Each structure stands twice: as structure tokens, then as C-alpha cells.
Structure 1
Amino acid sequence: MDIATRVWNHKWKIDPIVRSLIDTDFYKLLMCQSVFRNRRDTTVTFSLINRSSHVPLAELIDEGELREQLDHIRSLSLSRGESTWLRGNTFYGKRQMFRPDFMEWFENLRLPPYHLEKRNGQYELTFEGSWPEVMLWEIPALAVLMELRSRAVLDRMDKFELQVLYARAMTKLWEKIERLRAVDGLRLADFGTRRRHSFLWQDWTVQAMMEGLGDKFVGTSNCRIAMRRDIEAIGTNAHELPMVYAALAEDDAALARAPYDVLADWHEEHDGNLRIILPDTYGTEGFLSRAPDWLAGWTGIRIDSGAPEAGAETAIRWWKERGEDPRDKLVIFSDGLDADRIIALQEQFAGRVKVSFGWGTLLTNDFRGLVKDDALAPFSLVCKAVSANGRPTVKLSDNPNKAMGPDAEIARYKRVFGVGEQKPLEVVV
């Protein structure tokens, strides 16, 4: 595919960024089914949060164009082929991962309304409604904003400039692939949907990884690309679940139980490689020290904030203390990865645990240094659940620079979960 020519043609016609409700991350659909089963009557508000305030999205992206893209997403529904793939495909060795009642609901879904306004050079974009409906806005909304920002920069470039740009970006990625394919035992998946440069670019990077890494590339989080390229859809769960469960807690005791209530519900639905713990929502150390014994039997842990080496060492120590052999466990690294970090972590932990990587933004959006003023460099944009049934949500993380929520609630959560001093780390993406 000639991506440069397609980008050039964006200037001449409307080109929808999101063309499918399954142009989203696999974990979103898994979580949505769990929410549909257990908490479907919860009212949740999601909000856009630009951690990179130096990127003035409302000055870069035309409001009319943004509304046009969001309105298009609201017109989408599952196609027959997409429904057949979700109903009949085997995911993680399990057929009929998605239950008939959930699929019937999903097949009739149209995403609910959004609220958009400008403030201080940024967009305030919110979604409010039934939790299983509004949660499916997160990934497409981020993908639209990231790609519209890319288009705003690319629209100033001529045709041959675009061809050179993409040639350089392809070379940059291929050099990373050449380094990674020399790494013994590597297992790597694409986690880059939410902050990708564009859908076309993510699709190209997945194909490049398939060719360049072979069996070392284990799949993609993006359901549409997994379906189109006939590869594994990868994903489990995210911080959203404990954040909302915690917000619904009636008192401090219920708040302390909330992260484990989430996993108890998950435990009933899934087994094998879907039983992956994400422990850092309210601090990894405290979460593991208070975890029930049955969690130690789960397949592995995903490390998504803080120093990844420290997180893996904490997990290894915890498994040993609970009588588990870490060599039988899976550690998935997924925070701010690039080739150098992937290689270093693989070398450090290979043989001590089973190691896997979810490579995100710096796989699907590494245009750093390729245009003037670094105008295509990736930045940190998220869309998070900020309230549940009118109560604010909180995330602490293992990196205080990723914390979110009202100050008073953050202080309360730190007290309940025993979170002490934390070392701030740069949020790369």
C-alpha cells in the first residue's frame, strides 16, 4: 500500500478514521462483556485528558472535522462478518469467548452521544451513560484525535515530502525489527491502537512485524487488524475496572476489597492466559501484599507503570513467597517501551519468568525527529473513566505522574491502600 498517496488524498475527500466498531482493543470487548454481565446499570462518565499540555489540540484540530469524525463513529454498527468473527473465532484457545446475550446486545449497539467544547486551547470531550456503552468510546475517540493531529501536520506537506517522510518512518521501524529479531525467546504484541499515527500506519506496522519477526510477533490488540490479517487478538483487562469498582465502594473497607472484587468476577469468566493481574492501579506493593492466595495461582502479571525492572522483581518475590515458581509465570511489560528497553528487559528476566511485551505508541507512532519542530512526535493523551454513579474515580499508579482524581480522594486512597512515598518518572507516552 502506498500510504503517502493515501495521505495525500485525505486532502481531497472525506476519509473516515474509524470505520468499524471493532477498530478497538481486544481487552475493551472482554471488559465490556464482564461489565455487561456484572455492572451494566452503572452510570459512568469518561473524559479526555491531555497529559501533554504543550500540544494545543483545539488549535491544531478543526472542531467541525472532529465532530464529523465522531458523528461517523456513532453511525457504525457491527457488520455480519465482524459478528461472525467474534461469535465463532477461537481466542486464547477458547471458542465462543463472547456469550450470545452479549453479542446480541453488541450487534444492536450504536454509541451514545458525546459532549465537546473548547477550553484554553484544549478540547473537553466527555461521554456519559451506561457503562458498557460509553466505555466503547475510549479507543476510537483517542484514535480520531491522534490521527486528526497527524493530518493537521501532514496537510502542510507536498506529495514528495510525504513519500520521503513515510520512507524514513518505515526505515526507522524496520531497523528496530532487525534488532529485535536477533533476540532469543522474544514474544511481542502490538498494543498501539489508542495513540497510533493512523490506522493505515498501524496496519502497516503489524504487517512489517509479521514478516520481520515471524513467530516472535504473537498478535495485535486491534480487533479489526487481527481479523483482517488473520492473527491473534491480544488483551485482557485494564485499570478502568478497579477504578470504577472502587468508586462504587460504600466505605473504606469496601474500597480496600474493590480491586480483588474485580478479579473475582473476572476469575468466574476466564482462565488460562486471560488470568493476568494488573496490580498497579493503587500501588503494586500494597496490592500484592494483601492479595488473596488464589490470585497467586493466576497465569501472570502486566507491568504498566513505575520502573519495570522493580515491578518484575516485586512480582517474582511475591510468587516465591506464595509458594509459586516464577519460571512458570508470565510477566507482560507494556509501559513506554521501545526496542532498547525491550532488549534490556528480555535479557534481564529471560529464564527467571516467561517474558512478553505489549509494544504501544513507539511502535505505531514513532515519528520523532522526522519533521520540522518535531510536530509529529507522539504525546500522552488518554480517555479515562472519571466518575461512576456520580462519584469520582481515582488512579494512583506506581508513577505519581500518572495519578488522577480529586486531591482529597487521592489522599484517602493512599491511606486505604497504604501507598507511601513514590518516585515520579517521566511519562513518555
Structure 2
Amino acid sequence: MIQSILDNDLYKFTMQQAVHMLYPRAHARYEFINRGLTPFPDGFAEKVELKLEKMADLKLSLDQKTFLEKSCYFLTPVYLDYLESYRYDPGEVMIKQDKDILILKITGPWYRTILWEVPIMAIISETFFKMTCQKTATALERRAINLNKAKVLAANGVKFADFGTRRRYSAGNHKGLIQDLLSRENHTLIGTSNVHFAFLFNIKPIGTFAHEWFMFHAALHGYQMANPSAQDAWVKVFHGDLGIALTDTYTTDVFLSTFDTFHAKLFDGVRQDSGDSFAFVDKIIQHYKRLHIDPSAKTIVFSDNLDVEKAVKIHQY
């Protein structure tokens, strides 16, 4: 299910470097929240636990390290040496099942436990689909769907990145999707958040930071200082690289209240991950204008539950 140590989203590695550099003594606890109240079948936790134990064998290969050195220039030699020695410790994960309820917690040093979230979510998703025998399209049907998505997005000039690891049907399906997208001439796929598939297909790994970066800084400095302190810490590590700021951890309005001229000029753009995408565009444009910044020189990345139709409408707007 998990193909390699790189079968994870890029922002987990970028944040791990930042944590390793700035907060090596911080401890964290993650807890699985079943937002859809999905009932899990008998024996589900045991199946997942077996997959997690196998992850202890994963390690960074020389070819993978070379790829990261070339494609992720913002990752330091010190961090890459650390990642080369890193091994998942299944002892950091507690998983059990109470009837159809899954209980899962991850506890330990933040610089270590930060890598667990995405692959665990991918394992939960794939295990669920396998155990419940949910029907899916045939290989030919999936390819037709994938190629049509690529066709529509390209015809409308929509540049997009794959960000599907944590909710994928399976690792094989995920790989097939990217293969299909890349097979179309003049596709507009600019990369993937999944570093394993970026390595496999020699495409750009995409990502910056996640909500947990802001959540940690809220715990450290208080909620009022969470956004600016998180951005300032990020800049200390990456010096202007990876400059797409996440806006919605404590609502966009709260984020913008401290997204001053300094930060707005320093960061290349922002990411919208909740709320009304169209209202967000208007709000961000007006905010840049108030700061006397040309909005057309900035970028908005949209990542909130997109499908092809919605992506096209947002792009046209």
C-alpha cells in the first residue's frame, strides 16, 4: 500500500526539516477523527496495524536522495542525511477498534511523528475499500475518465497538481491516474504532492506547509500570534522559497488581519482550502490592493474539494 518512504506529501518533508531545525524538542499527538462517521468492518484495526509494522522497513535509497537533492533544492544536506537514517517506529502509533469505531493516536517527538499522518490515511482508505469490496470502474473506464479530465482541464488552460494520496482508492489506482494524465499530449498537470510518484515519473513535487504548522505556533505563542509567527518561522528555514501561505487555519479574515505588507510581499501567494472560492478571490484581490500590491503578480492555489467542473469555473472567474 505504501510504496516507499517517499510515498507521502511533500509538505510533510518540508515541515519535518523545519521542525528538525527549529523545534527539535517539541512533542506532538495526532488523533484520527472520523468526520464522515464511517463504520469500519470487524478486524479493520488489525489489518491496518500489520501494514504500519511493515513501514519500519522503509528507508531512503541513494537514487531517491539524489532526486531530492536535484528537485527539492530547498531541502538541506543536513536534513537529507537525517532522512536517509530515518525509520518509521510503529511504537509511536496506538490503534484499536471498539465495534465499528476506529481509535488511532500518534504520539512522540514532532520531528519524527510528523511523517505518519498521510501514509496512515492512505492505508486506512485502501484497507477500507479492500475489506468492504466496494465496486469501482474497470481499468479501461478509469483511463477514459482520467483522460477526459486531462482533456477538459487542458482545453480550459487550467494548471493543476495531484494531491490525492491520503484519500486514494489504492496506490495502484493513484499511479494509474498520473500515468494517464501524463500520457495526454499538451496536458496541464504541473506536478504532484506525492514525492514517490514525482520521483517515479520525474515530475515536480508540489507543496509547502499544512494547518499543523499554524496549530503548533498557536500552542507556542497564542492564537493571536499563530499566523504571523508561523510565517516568520517558515521564512527562517526556507528564506523565501515555498512561498504559498495557507490562509484558513483560524479563518481567512483572522489570517488577513496580520497578513501585512511585509508578509504579503514576501510570500508568492496564498492557498484557499475552505469556504467560498469565488468570494475568496475577491477578498484576496482587495487585500493586495489595500496594501498597494499588484494582485496579478501573486498566485492563488485552490485545494478545497475540487472537481474538474469547479476548477474550470474558478479558473475562468
Does the alignment pair 1:36 with 2:20?
Answer: yes
What do residues 390-417 of structure 1 show as CA deviations (whole Å, max 9, x unaligned)?
xxxxxxxxxxxxxxxxxxxxxxxxxxxx
Quote the Cα distance in structure 2 between the aligned partners of 1:201 and 1:219: 17
CA deviation after TM superposition for structure 1 residue 60, in Å: 5.9
**Aligned mate of 2:48, from 66, 74, 95:** 66
Question: In the alignment, residue 334 of structure 1 is paired with which amino acid?
Answer: S
Q: CA deviation at 1:176?
A: 2.2
Q: Distance in 1 between matches of 2:60 and 2:299?
A: 33
Taking a change above 3 Å as real, the CA distance of residues 296 and 213 of structure 1, as seen in their structure-2 partners, is: farther
Matched residue type, 1:336: N
Tell me, which stretches of 5 or more residues in structure 1 are unaligned? 1-16, 349-429
Corresponding position of 1:136: 115
Scaled by the length of structure 2, what TM-score is found?
0.93
| Cα distance in 1, alignment partners of residues 163 and 246 from structure 2 | 15
Question: Is 1:226–2:180 an aligned residue pair?
Answer: no
**8 Å contact from structure 1 (residues 61, 148) kept in 2:** no
Distance in structure 1 (CA, Å) of the matches to 2:98 and 2:33: 12
Judged with a 3 Å threshold, the aligned counterparts in structure 2 of structure 1 residues 89 and 106 are, in CA distance, closer, same or farther, namely same
In structure 1, give the amino acid aligned to 2:279: A
Could you list the runs of 5+ residues in structure 2 that have no partner in the other structure?
Answer: none
Deviations 1:75-125 (A, max 9, x none): 222122222222x2133xxx3x22122222221112232101112512111
1:172 CA displacement: 2.5
Q: Quick check: 2:21–2:237 contact (8 Å CA) kept in 1?
A: no
Is structure 2 residue 141 aligned with structure 1 residue 168?
yes
State the alpha-carbon separation in 1 of the partners of residues 146 and 43 from structure 2.
27
The CA RMSD measured in Å over matched residues stands at 1.8
CA contact (8 A) 1:177 1:213 kept: no
- 1:277-318 CA distances to partner (integer Å, 9 max, x unpaired)? 111101111211232321110210100011111112111111
Decide whether the 8 Å contact of 1:20 with 1:77 is kept in 2: yes
* CA-CA distance at 1:31 after TM superposition: 0.8
Aligned length: 314
Q: What is the TM-score normalised by the length of structure 1?
A: 0.70
Kindly provide the CA deviation profile for residues 307-358 of structure 1, in whole angstroms up to 9, marking residues without a partner as x. Answer: 111112111111000010111110000010001101100110xxxxxxxxxx
* Alpha-carbon offset, residue 23 of structure 1: 0.3
Match of 1:149 in 2: 128
Sequence identity of aligned pairs in percent?
A: 28
1:335 maps onto 2:304 in alignment: yes
* Alpha-carbon shift at residue 215 of structure 1 (Å): 5.0
> Is structure 2 residue 222 aligned with structure 1 residue 246?
no
Amino acid at match of 1:344: K
Q: Which residue of 1 aligns with 2:84?
A: 107
Separation (CA, whole Å) in 2 of partners of 1:307 and 1:82: 39
Q: For 2:293 and 2:278, locate their aligned partners in 1 and report how far apart those are by CA, in whole Å.
A: 20
Q: CA deviation at 1:131?
A: 0.2
Partners in 2 of 1:255 and 1:196 — Cα distance?
33
One-letter code aligned to 1:101: V
Return closer, same or farther for 1:341/1:213 CA change in 2, 3 Å cut-off.
Answer: farther
In 2, the alpha carbon distance for the partners of 1:218 and 1:283 equals 28
String of CA shifts for 1:180-239, please: whole Å, max 9, x gaps.
22103x211101111111111111111211222635110001101000101000111110
Residue 177 of structure 1: how far off its partner (Å): 2.3
Secondary structure (helix, strand or coil) at the match of 1:197 reads: coil
Describe the SS at the equivalent of 1:40.
coil
Work out which of the residue numbers 302, 305, 329 in structure 1 matches 2:274.
305
| Residue identity in the other structure for 1:294 | F
Contact between 2:151 and 2:187, CA under 8 Å: does it hold in 1?
Answer: no
* CA-CA distance at 1:271 after TM superposition: 5.1
Structure 1 equivalent of residue 65 of structure 2: 83
4+ residue runs of structure 1 moved beyond 4 angstroms? Answer: none
Matches within 5 A, 1:287-298: 287-297=255-265, 298=267
Q: Which has the larger radius of gyration?
A: 1
